[in-house]
Structure 1
Amino acid sequence: MKIRVGFGYDVHQLAEGEEFWLGGIKIEHNKGCVAHSDGDVLIHAICDALLGAANMRDIGYHFPDTSNDFKGIDSKILLKKTVEIIAEKGYSIGNIDSTIALQKPKIKALIPKMQETLSKVMGIDLDDLAIKATTTEKLGFVGKQEGISAYATVLIEK
């Protein structure tokens, strides 16, 4: 068996009047992500980590923000396609560890729903997807509630 690891990172600006999608679910909040797609930073970080682990470039290469095909797209569709792309090269997901950096809203209670949603999209066991959340103690763009970021580390197997 061959195993590989990958790392992904994404960031989006937060603005009033935008929908807020995170971990595949819509969250009620006075701000949402400014983005070409739905702006789900967690999914985007996971996609980048999976593609990187398989040495298949990045999310922008496969789903460019210059294409109208992806304007406003549900990021769960991108995630499902990413899993299919790495499977074409013979890889499957071993596990995912991720962290969301967000000052507000508090999302601890929503993490199980995110895990359930994303594990179904990827066809993996719930126990193989860790999602954690942190603040930046009011420091930087996250702390000032100007943006959100997410990090993901994945293990894939062939």
Structure 2
Amino acid sequence: MTSSSSGLPRVGVGTDVHAFAAEGSDRPMRVAGLDWPGERGLEGHSDADVVAHACCDALFSAAGIGDVGTQFGTSQPQWAGAAGVVLLAEAARLVRAAGFEIGNVAVQLVGNRPRLGARRAEAETALSAACGAPVSLSATTSDGLGLTGRGEGVAAIATALVVPRP
């Protein structure tokens, strides 16, 4: 259902996971709209920004217009190597074109690295600018459990609130 006629706010959830690139890869790490020099990059069709991708999925879910694979799939070469903030800006545009305003997005990075704390405000600014709405960011580890705990990759989980335009 993509109709915005109910007038009620809608909530969506998005999740994304990417493995670290092979040792020795020159792929840069981009997470939460920022480059992380000295960190091993993540594998993916675009820049593998798990935080931005989870935000996109949450927005698409809230608006009922598919998901990252539907909108920016690997079969679409124009998105190869695309920056996560570019995808997030396009996701926000598509959500607004579907008749919604974005209330906010909350996203949590799950992994041992990068260490987000010192750059949280910078990341929130980059994500909020791309989205055109407030984005709050938190981070956690998984206490050594699963692929994030073993240091094989990182994940992100996001929730978005959208409101139908009258």
- Interval containing the TM-score (normalised by the shorter chain): over 0.9
State which drifts further: 60-69 or 49-58: 60-69
What's the secondary structure of 1:8's corresponding residue? strand
Q: Deviations over 1:98-127 (max 9, x none)?
A: 110011232111111110111111222xxx
- Aligned 8 A contact 1:29 1:105 in 2: no
In structure 1, stretches of 5+ residues that fail to align are: none
Q: Deviations over 1:110-154 (max 9, x none)?
A: 111110111111222xxx321000011122111111010000011
Matched residues, number? 155
Q: Please tell me whether residue 157 in structure 1 is matched to residue 163 in structure 2.
A: yes
Q: Please tell me whether residue 62 in structure 1 is matched to residue 71 in structure 2.
A: yes
In structure 2, stretches of 5+ residues that fail to align are: 1-6
Residue aligning to 2:85: 76
Residue aligning to 2:13: 7
After superposition, residues 16-95 of structure 1 pair within 5 angstroms as 16=23, 17=25, 18-95=27-104
State which drifts further: 140-149 or 102-111: 102-111
Report the identity percentage.
33
Residue aligning to 2:138: 132
What's the secondary structure of 2:20's corresponding residue? strand
State which drifts further: 135-144 or 31-40: 135-144
Cα separation, 1, equivalents of 2:114 and 2:97: 38
- 2:95 is matched by which residue type in structure 1? I
- 1:133 is matched by which residue type in structure 2? A
Cα separation, 1, equivalents of 2:90 and 2:113: 30
- Aligned 8 A contact 2:33 2:52 in 1: yes
Cα separation, 2, equivalents of 1:104 and 1:71: 24
Q: Structure 1 length as normaliser, TM-score? A: 0.93
Q: Structure 2 length as normaliser, TM-score? A: 0.89
Cα separation, 1, equivalents of 2:82 and 2:65: 21
- Aligned 8 A contact 2:39 2:114 in 1: no
Structure holding more strand per residue? 1
Cα separation, 1, equivalents of 2:54 and 2:61: 10
Kindly tell me: are residues 114 and 30 of structure 1, through their superposed partners in 2, closer, same or farther at Cα, counting changes over 3 Å?
Answer: closer
